[in-house]
Structure 1
Amino acid sequence: MKKKAIEKTRNNSGVQDINDLPSTLFVTDAKGNILISNEFTALTIGISLDELLKMNVQDLVKAGYYKRSITMEAIETKQRVSRTIDTNRGFHIKSTAIPILQKDGEVQLVVTTSNEYNGKFPIFDVDPNILNKSNKSKEEAKEEGTDIGLVAESLAMKQIVKVCNQIASYDSKVLICGESGTGKEMVARYIYRKSDRMQGPFVSINCAAIPPSLFEQELFGYEKGAFAGASEEKKGIIELANDGVLFLDEIAEMPLDLQAKLLRVIDNNEVRRVGGIRNIPINCRIIAATNRDLWKLVKKGAFREDLYYRINVIPIHIPPLRNRKLDLVGLISYFLAEFNQKYGEKLILSADEFHKMLKCDWPGNARELRNYIERLVVTNQESIQQSKEETVTDWFAIDHFIKSNMEKNCSLKDFTAIVEGRYIQHVLDTFNGNATEAAKKLGIDRSVIYRKLKRMDNVLGGK
């Protein structure tokens, strides 16, 4: 990436620290075998990080990924080499290769990066693990959670992973905060995978998706005959999470009366089913998540203060994706590999495509990015032609709708219903199906959402 492009990206994203911007990295041995690299480097030449870590830099030149290797030049000359490298995907990267010599003057390692270092590395006794802490090897990737889809390239996410590793072995309650789509459940699952409770269940419940009238039955379960239609007993979600982890997503949407009952469960470590007369002991760790400011809700009387203090033992805040450009790079690579494998495609992003994605704010965070990349793969688009606003409204689907109805008597009213319905569905997806939050975003009543979605379904179904 050129310096001007980096500065422009920095201004658009509001990022001030150079460590929050993507940079390429190779750490090789004296023969050019790649020991350490990162997702951005792999993305610039259009292969996966796993593939890259199996290669020699000379293989990259032979395969045509770029014309010459300054890493090999540094090995041969034993001197620092700086040059702009043009990759096959259209990236122009000013890179520097620095040989690290042993006491006898022979090359031990070579660090090739697009970061500009002040001064020189020591002549010997350099630990390669501390050359660039924002990059990882394959072994480190497993430790940092990318084996379960948790991307931690930025300093902010690395700190979150560090905290998760520290608290995983304890049963302290955790409250994960962050905008919708930032990966709160992924962090919760990471804590679960790192804990002693991994052999037990991980039970997740979206508090915003359960009707208030059914909430108590879902959470606590019920006994046979507790109400009309209860022909047999049913364990509640809390009971199902016994010996494991209970993840309460969007806990701010839990009704106040249920909050009081949950508080009792937390205090006494026991649950009573609806219609039951006995208390059932439970042993589960509770991790809660929310995209709202719980303390503001407490002051408004919309959330219980005592419950707030019970669940907020260890707070974790996940910054939005627009403030984590390095994570954006990692997620682009991760999702692209995921959907290429899933659909048997081989979509590769060019430099222009990548820069367009890097400049986007992604208000729906990782969830929106994932949906967008899936769209690129399944529609086999080789370039991003639409603006960010256009992609949000799903124009490729609308264009298909127009073409497929050219010979039909499609009214403007029906077409408008399609456009509105698709946009509403996208906003709902952004808020993980939370109709209340989607309605606020759209500036309409919740009932309007369902009415317009039904209208779109009727038009598409030909009813």
Structure 2
Amino acid sequence: GLYICDNKGYTLLYNRAFLDISGISIDTMNQYSTIELHQMGVVPISCAGVAIKTKQPYSTIIDYYNGKKGIVTATPFYDQYEEILFVVSNVRDITEINNLQKELEETRQENLAYQHELQKIQGELKNNQQFIYRSKSMHQIISLASRFAKNDSPILLLGESGVGKDVLANYIHKKSNKNGEFVKINCGAIPEHLLESELFGYEKGAFTGANAKKEGLFEMAHEGTIFLDEIGDLPYSLQVKLLNVIQDSKIRRLGGTETRDVHVRIIAATNCNLEQLVEQKKFRLDLFYRLNVLSITIPPLRERREDISVLLFFYLEKLKKKYKEDKKIDTQVLDKLIEYEWPGNIRELKNIIERMYHMSESEKISIKELPPSILNPKSIQGQNNGLISVSNTTLPLKEAVAEFEKEYIANVLSKTPTMQDCANILGVNISTLVRKKRNLLIK
């Protein structure tokens, strides 16, 4: 049996096995806190209530009033301030005395696993990394990133928009114990004629308006880390200059003659298929080889659903602390959120939970606060609405793909209230959406 409550003892989640073992009805469970259930005499003791009061894990054997006996372990989970976020209780039916020893040992091992995972999360929070995860795949990625942080080789981070590539890059920088700064730039958000001066700096008089010299981002990141986000959007003309910086560790400002040494760790990230861009002659093969020395692919949220509920409760708790208003999530809402595909990944999840928190008029976030994209995830495509029309079947493949992309983006834009909502549904960064809207001449 599984039971989860918030830091006041109010129910967040439970399963049928918990109801069967404890003998508590659904109506009673939904109406009262675990502490109230004990006070009302529905259960002999509230392990979660004890864990909330003592801020420590608590285990005991309970003889429920329906004649069943259960061993219960309540484990509190904390935030970075060591305040309780929620309490997870697991109940094992040990009515059969012959299985008592086996059940005790299994529960002990499970409790140790909870404590070990809790210590890991607390450690990350104390380092201000805010990595919240339960999945084995993310554990492997964090372990890999920690190993990569020990050297200065370039790192390439791959994954869909919103999976947390920038957070992982910052984590690697801090794990590297660099003396310099962590400097981030989005290669797709700055016009090409300005990007070179931003990266490499310029001397006075280098161009009209250059009234004073300025150091570039590579110089700012000296002895630190430079994070090149959306590296697939780096103009082809600048790719050879970046390659030279990686190979020689030197830069030259625009309009200057002097070369300057820069010792930086380069981390690049993209949601594009760089190998495909290389085939299309949009990305240099030699630069791809230099950036792809060490690579990490972060899986999308839909492939690690174990992380969804933990992230939801974490962001909800942050909102509670910020706005001083306690709100809970209805179990129906939680089920919908866990089933959702999350095309915008963690960025979308964070936006959705904040939206629901502010839209809710009561203490419980109900199903009516869910946006249409989650309630009816396929409705955005419509039915027989000509979304995928591309009626001209004589077009070359490249032009047909561009026409479909234009039509698809325009259709989603027309059905969403903001550009950010559209970007979340498409699963791209908003800067990527703005650029595509401009390049495809979408009104």
TM more than 0.5: yes
1:173 equivalent in structure 2: 154
Post-superposition CA distance 1:254-308 (Å, at most 9, x none): 0111110000000000110100100110011011111011111112211111111
1:156 to 123, 137, 140: 137
- Structure 1 residues 127 and 437, CA gap change in structure 2 (3 angstroms): same
| 1:30-49 CA-partner distances (Å, limit 9, x unpaired) | xxxxxxxxxx665995599x
1:428 corresponds to which residue? Answer: 423
Q: Which has the higher contact order (CA 8 A, sep 6+)?
A: 1
For the residues of structure 1 that align with 2:294 and 2:152, how far apart are their CA atoms?
A: 10
CA distance in structure 2 between the partners assigned to 1:248 and 1:143 by the alignment? 27
Aligned to 1:201: 181
| Superposition map of 1:350-429 within 5 A | 350-381=330-361, 382-385=365-368, 386=370, 388-389=372-373, 422-428=417-423
Instruction: Write the letter of the residue equivalent to 2:92.
Output: T
CA distance in 1, matches of 2:111, 2:282: 49
Distance 2:37 2:147 in 1: 44
Distance 1:228 1:268, change over 3 A: same
Go from structure 1 to structure 2 and tell me whether the alpha carbon gap of 1:294 and 1:175 turns closer, same or farther (over 3 Å shift). Answer: same
Change (3 A) 1:41 1:265: farther
Q: Flag the 1:428–1:417 CA change in 2: closer, same or farther, 3 A.
A: closer
> 1:76-87 residue pairs with structure 2 within 5 A?
81=70
1:315 equivalent in structure 2: 295
User: Structure 1 residues 289, 122: closer, same or farther in 2, change over 3 A?
Assistant: same
Specify the code of the residue in structure 1 equivalent to 2:181: P
Q: Measure, in 2, the Cα distance between the counterparts of 1:281 and 1:315.
A: 26
In structure 2, distance between residues paired with 1:177 and 1:293: 9
Deviation of 1:311 after TM superposition, in Å, equals 1.1
Amino acid in the other structure paired with 1:180: S
Judge conservation of contact 1:345–1:377 (CA < 8 Å) in 2.
no
Partner SS, residue 346 of structure 1: coil
Trace 1:47-446 onto structure 2 (pairs within 5 A): 61-62=34-35, 64=37, 68=43, 69=45, 74-75=60-61, 81=70, 95-96=91-92, 120=103, 122=105, 131=113, 136-137=117-118, 139-144=119-124, 147-197=128-178, 199-381=179-361, 382-385=365-368, 386=370, 388-389=372-373, 422-428=417-423, 430-435=427-432, 439=436, 446=439
Residues 92 and 343 of structure 1: CA distance in aligned 2, closer, same or farther (over 3 Å): closer
Cα distance between partner residues in 1 of 2:315 and 2:106: 40
Tell me if structure 2 keeps the 8 A contact 1:74–1:97. Answer: no
Letter in 2 for 1:206: N
SS class of match (2:318)? helix
User: Alignment partner of 1:316: what SS?
Assistant: strand
> What is the one-letter code of the residue matched to 2:367?
I
**Inter-partner Cα distance in structure 1 for 2:332 and 2:376:** 19
Q: 1:130 to 1:241 in 2, by over 3 A?
A: same
CA contact 2:71–2:104 (8 Å) conserved in 1? no
Task: Report how far residue 191 of structure 1 moved.
Answer: 1.0
Q: Aligned letter for 1:269?
A: S
Matches of 1:178 and 1:43 in 2, distance apart?
35
- Count residues in correspondence: 349
> Structure 1 pair 255/73, CA: closer, same or farther in 2 (3 Å)?
closer
Q: TM-score with structure 2 length normalisation?
A: 0.68
Query: Is the contact made by 2:165 and 2:269 (CA closer than 8 Å) also made in structure 1?
Result: yes
Displacement of 1:131 after TM fit?
3.7
Structure 2, gaps ≥5 residues long: 13-32, 48-57, 75-86, 95-100, 378-410
Misfit runs of 4+, over 6 Å: 91-94, 126-129, 390-393
How far apart are the structure 2 equivalents of 1:224 and 1:302? 32
Report the Cα offset of residue 173 of structure 1.
1.4
Deviation, 1:97, is 6.9
In 1: Cα distance, 2:266 partner to 2:413 partner: 41
Aligned equivalents of 2:331 and 2:131: distance in 1?
Answer: 25
Q: How big is the shift at 1:148?
A: 2.3
**Residue 93 to residue 354, structure 1, CA distance change in 2 (3 Å):** farther
Letter in 2 for 1:179: E
Runs (5+) with no aligned partner, structure 1: 2-22, 25-39, 49-59, 86-90, 99-117, 394-415, 452-463
Once the two structures are aligned, what percentage of the paired residues are identical? 33
